[in-house]
Amino acid sequence: MNDIILLKLGELVLKGQNRRYFEQRLISNINRRIEAFGRFRIYSVQSTIYVEPLDDDCDMDETFEALKQVFGIASLSRAAACEKRAEAILETAKTYLKDELEGISSFKVETKRSDKSFPMTSIELSQYVGSGLHQAFPHLKPDMHEPELTVNVEVRDYAAYVHAGSVRGAGGLPVGTGGRAVSLLSGGIDSPVATYMMAKRGLKIIPVHFFSFPYTSELAKQKVLDIAAVLKNYCGDLTVEIVPFTRIQEEMRAKCPEEYFTIIMRRFMMRIAQKIADFNGCKAIVTGENLGQVASQTVEAMAVTEACCSLPVLRPLIGMDKDEIVVLARKIGTFDLSVLPYEDCCTVFTPRHPKTKPRLELVEAAEKALDIEALTREAIEGTTRVKV
């Protein structure tokens, strides 16, 4: 029996003349994601991508689970392929779905017939297969409204396919189709979710982490790398840029007014992120900022923060509340890592009374005590890159 995985596309089908580009990028991403599980033939026909094993030792269970995390896939089904004959379809359904059919009491059959040359209509084929399954499994009761199992039959160009329904995919657009962006990745809850959300819109992500040893520990850095390893399942290959930030924070503490610490720190992050972005051909900066969540995330503070860079700053969490962000963090698997008690650089030298409505000219005046260019250059030169 030819076990196969069918992947249905979502918004990719609306891409018009660019659709082929999106499909090719998706197929490339799929290849990389499942190459560890065996050799597969992957091809696209009629808004469906087929993942067909070429060897008996392909791990179809692991492949199916991995494909649930690939952006660009709306839904996926584990199916059996067979000849386009009614008798072959019925026999395949009886064999392939035997365990499921024996464990339920009601069912129905749904047929989609994209090959209009097939001699039976969709309704006729559903009735034929349903009658045959009822005879083979007499305990089953047909139920057209609330069946325990729906047997799906798809008659397509190359073959017919039988499966027990689809599961939801990751959705979104294939990673890489939207360009490249750097993402400020801390060890907190928000920034991993923001990274995930922008990768879902097709961005290839370069994570940037600011590390303030010895004020933050090696365990804090490892936590971020562990978070990146989880995100890699969705974002594809990741190389984390780890920026030494201690000198900047110490200089800031020694020479700047305390109420501006957070704003000045964020402005340095933006300057450094822009330089890393320019070097890597990135066209945007992603942050996990959320309006009103902390003092540095007021409208006024965010405006001052981004005034020092020219790239667009993408804030996918801007209108979400914390509960919504936590739900997403749990869904993608980063939450348990994010709540580990290892602090990041954002908690170093936190001002007692931060400015919530800073004025740009006053912040720029406070920064004049610092050699911004030298400090930024030193941080860039000390940056290390860790491939996840």
d(Cα 217, Cα 44) in Å, to the nearest integer?
A: 48
Q: Summarize pLDDT for 261-317 with one digit per residue, the tens.
A: 999 999 999 999 999 999 999 999 999 999 988 877 899 999 999 999 999 999 999
d(Cα 361, Cα 368) in Å, to the nearest integer?
A: 11
Instruction: Looking at the chain, list the stretches that DSSP marks H as alpha helix, in order from N- to C-terminal side.
Output: 19-34, 60-67, 86-96, 98-102, 122-136, 190-200, 218-235, 246-255, 261-279, 299-306, 322-332, 335-338, 360-367, 372-381
pLDDT value for 196: 98
- Angle ∠(52,58,59) on CA atoms, nearest 5: 110
Q: Summarize pLDDT for 108-139 with one digit per residue, the tens.
A: 999 999 999 999 999 999 999 999 999 999 99
Q: Summarize pLDDT for 62-82 with one digit per residue, the tens.
A: 999 999 999 999 999 999 999
**144 close to 174: Cβ distance less than 8 angstroms:** no
Spatial neighbors of 330 by CB under 8 A, at least 6 apart, are none
Structure confidence at residue 360 as a pLDDT band (50, 70, 90): very high
| Residue 138: both structure tokens together | 């007499």
Q: What is the DSSP letter of 173?
A: B
Structure confidence at residue 1 as a pLDDT band (50, 70, 90): low
d(Cα 133, Cα 135) in Å, to the nearest integer?
A: 5
pLDDT at 337 over 80: yes
Spatial neighbors of 117 by CB under 8 A, at least 6 apart, are none
Q: What are phi and psi of 305, to 5 degrees?
A: -60, -45
Going by C-alpha positions, the residue among 29, 61, 27 that lies closest to residue 41 is 27
